[in-house]
Structure 1
Amino acid sequence: MTVKKLHCLAIALLAVAVSSCEKEPSTSDLHRDYLVYTAHDTAINFAQFDTYYLPDSILIIGNANKTEYWKDANALEIVSAVAGRLNAAGYTRTQDKETANLGMQLSYVRQVTYFVGYDNPYWWWYYPYYWAPGYWGDWIGWHYPYQVYYGYTAGSLLMEMVDLEADQTPGRKLPIIWDSFIGGLLTSSESLNQQRTLTAVEQAFDQSPYLNK
């Protein structure tokens, strides 16, 4: 065997030895960071809106066969954080859904995975316990005036702003004029999950300055 071949063999054996001793990465590292994504209808002037309606609960999207809502102290803290940022942006929260200019709906993905594509406007159609358009009025579905494609996994928060002043003629879909997807929130610590969620909510509004009136 030539010196060159011996040298190559030595390098190969060293690489195998190093890789065999290398510690496997911890799966907890997969949740070290989170993602905050926001999008909006660029044709909308948000200064035209004054009031909004925000339910005191967060819809849970999980594996249950019935509609679930998250209503504990943590959920109310998240709802309060969203309301606080909307108030700071110049909007007024109202308890009268019928007179509100805007609607805010919050959803939390617990233990399932969904993929959302712009090509299918009824992207939650096969999940019967998602926010129904009828909650906001006589609408036949949802409409996104901008391109949307997400992958939802466990520990994701979805915030959506709907235009309640949109033309509600028969056959019209309710437009969602701003939305935020926050992913990677789930860790083994409940308190850390909550803190990451609150921080991510703040980040979603920080990166959406057009919402300020």
Structure 2
Amino acid sequence: MKFKFTLIALAFGLLVLSSCAPGLPEDVTTLDVVYTNFNPNFDFGQGTTFAIPENVVIISDIPIQPGQQPPFIDFVAGRSILGAIRTNMLQRGFTQVNQFADPDFILLPSVVEDNSLLFEYDWWFWDWWIPNLGAGLGWTYPGYQPAIVTSVSTESLLIQFVNMKATTNDKLEVDWVAIVNGALTGSQTSNTERAVAGVNQAFVQSPYIQK
């Protein structure tokens, strides 16, 4: 069975900036936008353990077959992003385990190779890493609607916080999402700094993620 989902809307609304206007940003990093949204009815403190994958995957138009690993972003940038997610979760009182240890939560980081976060991809996109991910099992966003991102920079980062202990109509609950606009645009060094800053800001904006 083929599963598809659409992550719907937030227009980041970045204005076209004139290079001659006074007082405007001179560096693209000053235009970074971090968006977060969550299930207001979910108690994040009910879980204790989390798992994160070994790599940050790339979502593109390249088809992925069941069991096949998707492409990954640059190793250095990926490790920095995963390290930032790990550090923030540990600081909030959670314990990291591997994906085979029945974690309460998993956090799935991905990067989109397009200027729109209108996602539609198959359920097996993560079955190479999530144990026993059943055919047709997808995601649901209880209590909220993720934003429609109609205009974001290429290489924006998406993080999905998945509750592995709850399913609704054969769908796993995603109780928090974060989007870092254009996190990986620029040099490798800039990638690392901007992505880590964006992940940290996403957690600052989300004090409810707490054991």
Which bracket does the TM-score occupy, shorter chain normalised?
A: 0.7 to 0.9
TM-score, length-scaled by structure 1: 0.73
CA apart distance, 1:61 = 1.9
Which aligned pairs between 1:42-61 and structure 2 lie closer than 5 A? 42-61=40-59
CA contact (8 A) 1:124 1:130 kept: no
CA contact (8 A) 1:61 1:130 kept: no
Task: Please identify the structure whose Cα radius of gyration is greater.
Answer: 1
**What SS does the aligned partner of 1:106 have?**
strand
Identical aligned residues as a percent:
26
Which aligned pairs between 1:15-26 and structure 2 lie closer than 5 A? none
CA apart distance, 1:48 = 0.4
CA contact (8 A) 1:134 1:140 kept: no
Unmatched segments (≥5 aa) in structure 1: 1-21, 117-122
2:120 aligned with 1:124, yes or no?
Answer: yes
* Worse-matched range after superposition: 133-142 or 191-200: 133-142
TM-score, length-scaled by structure 2: 0.73
CA contact (8 A) 1:53 1:102 kept: yes
2:107 aligned with 1:77, yes or no?
Answer: no
One-letter amino acid matched to 1:135: I
**What SS does the aligned partner of 2:78 have?**
helix
2:194 aligned with 1:181, yes or no?
Answer: no
Unmatched segments (≥5 aa) in structure 2: 1-17, 65-69
CA apart distance, 1:173 = 1.0
CA apart distance, 1:147 = 1.2
Structure 1 residues 167 and 207 mapped into 2: Cα distance closer, same or farther (>3 Å)?
Answer: same
2:114 aligned with 1:112, yes or no?
Answer: yes
CA contact (8 A) 2:107 2:159 kept: yes
Which aligned pairs between 1:112-191 and structure 2 lie closer than 5 A? 112-116=114-118, 123-125=119-121, 130-131=125-126, 135=130, 137-138=133-134, 140-145=137-142, 146-148=144-146, 149-151=148-150, 152-167=152-167, 171-191=169-189
Cα distance in 2 for partners of 1:40, 1:161 equals 9
Count, aligned residues: 182
Structure 1 residues 133 and 48 mapped into 2: Cα distance closer, same or farther (>3 Å)?
Answer: farther
**What SS does the aligned partner of 2:81 have?**
helix
Cα distance in 2 for partners of 1:209, 1:53 equals 20
Of 58, 76, 90, which residue of structure 1 is paired with 2:93?
90
From the two aligned structures, give the one with the greater helix fraction: 1
Higher RCO (CA-CA < 8 Å; seq separation 6+): 2
CA contact (8 A) 1:51 1:91 kept: yes
* Cα RMSD after superposing both structures: 3.1
CA apart distance, 1:107 = 0.1
One-letter amino acid matched to 1:124: E
CA contact (8 A) 1:63 1:112 kept: no
